[in-house]
Chains A and B, each alone.
Chain A
């Protein structure tokens, strides 16, 4: 199903084709997991939220408006699922470092510097309020336009702009400090 676009797959899925929806899952799972991780800062929770989001989308696929892009529709559901899970599990301690450990287990040849940068960025992200974190991740990492992010998060476009601005400042500082260390 490589030559088929998202809208066509969504239409087939709405007709009850689980394989078409499975293809959509394969296409968008990495992004959904990243976005869920940005909200929850915990790998296991992020997977639970991404899974819940996909299953909710599968149940609601009949209500998807094919005139709109599929990706933001799906991502809005995933963001809502992640926020909902965060509310439910607020008492649980987040363990963002498990991610780093898993990554190093999976790819021991990976440069220590690269892991360090990821670690610093995650730490910097964790200092941001949830909405700012989401705005900067959706804008810079996932490439969504401001208007789409505003719709997804239910906030005005000006707020998205401000959140991205402030989020970037914190993250660039983290990025800059790692680069300085590398240059030394």
Chain B
């Protein structure tokens, strides 16, 4: 170990490096690796399960969303038709003795009513 206390040595310390590795080394590397390998295999199997489950639930959700959209569309169309039927025409407004609004007159004129 030379005197390197005043300047930075840009290469790893050949004495300190191995001493540090030794100091930080932990026992039972083999057991750690075996346990982790098993977890990796397990994680993969679970991942496939998760993928399939994900597809299943995505399918269920898409079907539900499509059904909901259809139902909503149907309801809106139905409501729209009903609403159209209840709209007062120029004739009804005139019969009621009211003065029809300008947009109602314009709409009836353009539609040939």
Contacts and interface: CB of A to CB of B under 8 A. Distances in A.
- A interface, size bucket: 35 or more
A29 B36 contact: yes
B103 interface: no
Interface in A1-44: 16, 18, 21-22, 25-26, 29-30, 33-35, 37-38, 43
Interface in B24-78: 24-29, 32-33, 35-37, 39-41, 43-44, 47
Interface stretch (A65-73, A77-85, A87-95, A113-121): A113-121
Contacts, number: 116
B81 interface: no
B2 to A, nearest CB: 10
B23 A117 contact: yes
B99 interface: no
A118 B12 CA distance: 18
Contacts of B5: 169, 172
B19 A121 contact: yes
A1 B27 CA distance: 24
A143 interface: yes
Q: Quick one: which of B1, B24, B36 has the most chain A CB within 10 A?
A: B24
Contacts of B109: none
Contacts of B18: 141
Q: Quick one: which of B23, B25, B26, B47 has the most chain A CB within 10 A?
A: B23
A22 B37 contact: yes
A24 B1 CA distance: 34
A25 B40 contact: yes
Given A16-B44, A22-B40, A172-B5, A29 B32 contact: yes
Contact of B19 (A46, A143, A175): A175
A140 B27 contact: no
A44 B58 CA distance: 39
B16 interface: yes
Interface string A85-129: 000000000000001001100100000001001110110010000
A21 B36 CA distance: 10
Q: Quick one: which of A43, A59, A146, A175 has the most chain B CB within 10 A?
A: A175
A74 interface: no
Given A51-B39, A146-B10, 10 more contacts: A22-B40, A37-B26, A47-B26, A54-B36, A122-B24, A136-B20, A137-B20, A142-B21, A165-B8, A172-B16
Interface of A: 16, 18, 21-22, 25-26, 29-30, 33-35, 37-38, 43, 46-47, 50-51, 54-55, 58-59, 99, 102-103, 106, 114, 117-119, 121-122, 125, 136-137, 139-143, 146, 161, 164-165, 168-169, 171-172, 175-176, 179
